[in-house]
Amino acid sequence: MGKVKIKRKSTLIDMTAMSDVTVLLLTFFMLTSTFLAKEPTVVMTPSSVSEEKVPMNNLVTILVSGKDKPGNAGNPETEGKIFISFTGDKDSTLSSEHIREMMLLEALKIYNEQHPSAKVDLTPAQIAEFKKLNMFGLPFRGMPQYLSLEQSKRDEFQGNMEDPNVGIPIDGNKDRNGRLNDFQVWMKAVYNVAQRIHNDQKEMLTDPADVKKLENLYTALMRKGEGIAVKADKNTPFSTVQIIFDNLQTMKLNKFSLLTALKSEDEPTN
């Protein structure tokens, strides 16, 4: 009796549908993801057990540079440089660019009142460039020249931590009504803008959703401490970061957050 031959079937699988799904998923994740913006310097934040997330919107981030580490020895001259970032909502009412413009104009007003003989004036083009900045760190007096540079030149300038002109000037001043340092001028601008939004601008809005977002901004900045976050390297001495805390409290910004990384289970506890 002869063997029955089983008809061989093709093992070819049509992957067209799977490829289409893969492309759609990839496009979805690319469009919905929030990409981290480039920062002037890389810091490794300390770890903690807190799982509370810092909001991505309505946030003032204060970045503190650590020591450069070309080898085992760090460069102390690069430590403690301060950079600031303003992030608003994604809508047109309180977009990041709108918030940055409000902060800049208020800070310039405060600075020029305190330095009448050395006023800083910016052109509309320079203000437009500032609105695009994710993070900045330099004295007020250097802003006109800095904002006139090309993007690549600005990145090169801010990336040189050994340059004494890099970083927002700060000192131990505790007189809120006296001559403020540059960092305190920015923080006073944050305080004034938050108050103005809370007291004035909400009256001009008709959409309850917009009013709520304005209230959320004020609450985050002034009430919960969620609107101001300090980001420093885990090896930066506390005395370096404490001067920032003291300056914030001098400007009546008594609630703020410290950015940390989530501690792993096998990481020892100090």
Each residue's pLDDT tens digit, 208-228? 776 676 666 666 666 666 678
What is the spatial distance between Cα 54 and Cα 265, in angstroms, rounded to a whole number? 21
Across the range 132-156, mean pLDDT stands at: 92
Strands, sheet with 82-87, edge to edge from the N-terminal-most edge strand:
82-87, 59-64, 228-232, 257-258
What pLDDT shows up at residue 71? 46
With residues binned 3-state (H G I as helix, E B as strand, rest as coil), the percentages for the chain, rounded to 5, are 45, 10, 45
User: What is the predicted pLDDT for the residue at 72?
Assistant: 43
Query: Per-residue pLDDT tens for 89-129?
Result: 766 567 888 889 999 999 999 999 999 999 999 999 999 99
Bridge-based pairing state of the strands 47-48 and 82-87: unpaired
Q: For 15-43, how does the pLDDT look when each residue is reduced to its tens digit (9 = 90+)?
A: 677 777 787 777 776 666 555 556 777 77
Report whether pLDDT(13) > 80.
no
Helix/strand/coil for 62: strand
DSSP assigned state of 221? I
Residue 242's alpha-carbon distances to 153, 217, 246, in angstroms, are 32, 25, 6
Tell me if 126 sits within 8 A of 92, measured CB to CB: no
The answer to whether 93 and 213 have CB atoms below 8 angstroms apart is yes
For residue 172, pLDDT beyond 70: yes
φ, ψ of residue 28 to 5 degrees: the values are -60, -50
What integer pLDDT is reported at residue 219 of this predicted model? Answer: 66
Rounded to two decimals, the pTM is 0.76
Task: Enumerate long-range contacts of 110-118, CB under 8 Å, 24 or more apart.
Answer: 110/180, 110/185, 110/188, 110/189, 110/192, 111/140, 111/182, 111/185, 114/179, 114/180, 114/185, 115/140
Rounded to 5 degrees, what are φ and ψ at 228?
-125, 125
For position 204, what pLDDT does the model report?
Answer: 62
**175: three-class secondary structure by DSSP:** coil
pLDDT digits (tens, 9 = 90+) for 180-203: 999 999 999 988 888 777 676 666
Cβ neighbors of 94 (< 8 A, separation 6 or more) are: 58, 88, 213, 214, 217
> Could you read off the pLDDT of 57-95 as tens digits, one per residue?
667 899 998 876 554 455 667 788 999 998 877 665 678
The whole-number pLDDT of residue 36 equals 55
Dist. CA 86–CA 97, nearest whole Å = 9
